Amino acid sequence: MNDMSGHGHDHGMAPPPTMNGTGMMRGHKMMMHMTFFWGKNTEVLFHGWPGMENTGMYVLALFFVFAMSVLVEWLSHSRIIKPGRSDVAAGVIQTLMYAIRVGLAYMVMLAVMSFNGGIFLVAIVGHSLGFLLFGSRVFRKTEIPYSMKTSDLPPSSCSC
């Protein structure tokens, strides 16, 4: 049978992937979770990382996300620019710090989008501990005058 329209022939192409009821892709090796799940068999940020059946790499991924979350909070509450710097130099440093903070915040967000429960929890704990250490009143040496406060919480560190 010769079909000149090109319809009805697959020309060696694989069928398109379809979603089954669990949110997993059929027809591909990669599983894409669409709901939170628990377990070490996941991909976080990079293809193949931390990998399947690799507990050590999963723990490393947890520490990595935790550290990025704490670092986002440190950058959100640190005062690196010294008084007296020129406006141009201070503006460049401030812009670089902002770019790094936003980049790290997006990396944490993408890690959480793996829908892995452990990754989600360490991101929250990292942000919380970072805020406790760098943003809360617990370790602050001087209190901001009440008249200068706009809120008890600082501006959101995520520009999402």
Mean pLDDT, to the nearest integer, of 92-115? Answer: 92
At residue 93, what is the residue type? I
| Helix orientation angle between 87-112 and 55-77, rounded to the nearest 10 degrees | 150
The C-alpha angle 68, 33, 50, rounded to 5 degrees, equals 45
What is the mean predicted confidence (pLDDT) over 120-140? 92
Reduced to 3 states (helix: H, G, I; strand: E, B; else coil), residue 50 is strand
* pTM of the complete model beyond 0.75: no
Question: So what's the pLDDT on residue 29?
Answer: 57
Read off the pLDDT of each residue in 108-128 and give the average, rounded to a whole number. Answer: 94
Question: What's residue 111's pLDDT?
Answer: 92
Per-residue model confidence as pLDDT tens digits over 27-78: 545 566 788 778 787 888 877 777 787 888 899 999 999 999 999 999 988 8
Q: What residues does each domain of the chain span?
A: 38-140
Give the list of residues 6+ apart from residue 143 with CB closer than 8 angstroms, or none: 137
